[in-house]
Structure 1
C-alpha cells in the first residue's frame, strides 16, 4: 500500500482563520492527536506569533480534524479516528488477494461501509479482472469446458459474447476498474 498520511488540524484555529496542525501517518492518526505533547507542538508556531495566549484555554482547542490526506480511499474530511480505522483496514486489504480498488467496488455493490466489508467473503467472491464482461464470458466458457480444447476460432467469432455475459451476470457483480476493465464478483 502507498504510505498514507493525513493532515490533522485544530478545528478552533481553523474557525479563526488559522491553519494549525501537522501531517501524521494515517495508521496512527488518532493515537497521535490524542497526546497533549503533539497538540502543544502543533500550536507552538502559533504561540510564538501571537504571544497573548491565542487559544485562551486549552478546551477550545481539543477538537482535531483530518482536513487533507494522501494514500487513502477517502473523499473529503473525517475524524482522526476514522482515518486511522481506514488506514488499518487498507493494511488488511494489502494482505488479502483482492486489489483495494476492487474492494471499494465490492463495498459499493453490497452497500457496506468500506471498513465493514468482510474481507474473507470479498476474497471468496472475487473472480478477477477482465477487459470487459464479454471477455469474462468467453474466458468463463473456456475455463469451464463449455468450449472443447482444440476448437478452431471461427465458430467462436459467431458467438455474441456480450449476450452470453448478460446471462452470466444475473449472479455476478461487475465493477469498473479505475485503470480500465472490470472487476468481477460472485453474488453468493
Structure 2
C-alpha cells in the first residue's frame, strides 16, 4: 500500500536586486522558480530601474542549499514541473540523497530516470518487498506447506541490494530501483 501526502511542493525563489543588496537594502519578492528567468528588475522594484542584475537569495522546495541565478532557478523549477505534484517530494528526496542521475554536466536530475526508478512511498522496505512478492507471484505456484518455510528476512535483505531508499519528511520511505 502506497502512502499519499498533500504537502506544498511548488519550487519558489526569493529574487532580489543585486545592486540594492550590495548597498545594504533588500529589494525583492518571492516568485515561482519555473518563471524566475522572466522576472525583470522593473518587477522587483515595481518601477523602471537602472539596476541590471537579479539574484535568487533564498529558495524553497529545491534540493540545493545555495544562492543561484534566476536562470538556474528556472531550470530547477521546470524539472519539478515535469513530474506530477504528488511525486515532487520523492524527486526532492532522491536528489537530496545524492544517489540520483543528473542530466548533462550539471546538478539537474533526469526526470525520465526518476520515473523509471521510483517505486512509491511506503511505511518501510518490508512492506514494499512483500507487495512486490505478491505482484510478481513469487510464491504463487509453491505449495503452502513449503511456502511457510520461505525465509522472508533473507529474501528482503537480498532484494534491498537492488534498491535505494530515502526517508520521507511525512514518515515512511521512498523506494527507488538501483538500475
Same fold at TM > 0.5: yes
Instruction: Check whether the contact 1:26–1:87 (CA below 8 A) recurs between aligned residues.
Output: yes
Q: Which residue of 2 aligns with 1:184?
A: 175
Find out whether 1:80 has 2:87 as its counterpart.
Answer: no
Higher helix share: 1
Aligned counterparts of 1:10 and 1:23: Cα–Cα separation in 2? 12
Q: Which residue of 1 aligns with 2:27?
A: 20
Equivalent positions of 1:164-179 (< 5 A) are: 164-179=155-170
The normalised TM-score by structure 1 is: 0.69
The count of residues paired between Structure 1 and Structure 2 equals 166
* Greater gyration radius: 1
Q: Give the aligned CA root-mean-square deviation in angstroms.
A: 3.3
Correspondent of 1:105 among 63, 69, 93? 93
5+ residue gaps in structure 1?
A: 45-57
Deviations 1:87-124 (CA, angstroms, capped at 9, x unpaired)? 111111127xx712222333321353786333223212
Find out whether 1:11 has 2:18 as its counterpart.
Answer: yes
5+ residue gaps in structure 2?
A: 1-7
Aligned counterparts of 1:39 and 1:100: Cα–Cα separation in 2? 28
Q: Which residue of 2 aligns with 1:92?
A: 82
Correspondent of 1:133 among 105, 112, 125? 125
Instruction: Check whether the contact 1:102–1:183 (CA below 8 A) recurs between aligned residues.
Output: yes
Q: Which residue of 1 aligns with 2:4?
A: none
Aligned counterparts of 2:165 and 2:36: Cα–Cα separation in 1? 34
Equivalent positions of 1:16-165 (< 5 A) are: 16-33=23-40, 37-38=42-43, 41=46, 58=50, 61-94=51-84, 99-107=87-95, 108-110=98-100, 112=102, 116-148=108-140, 155=148, 159-161=151-153, 163-165=154-156
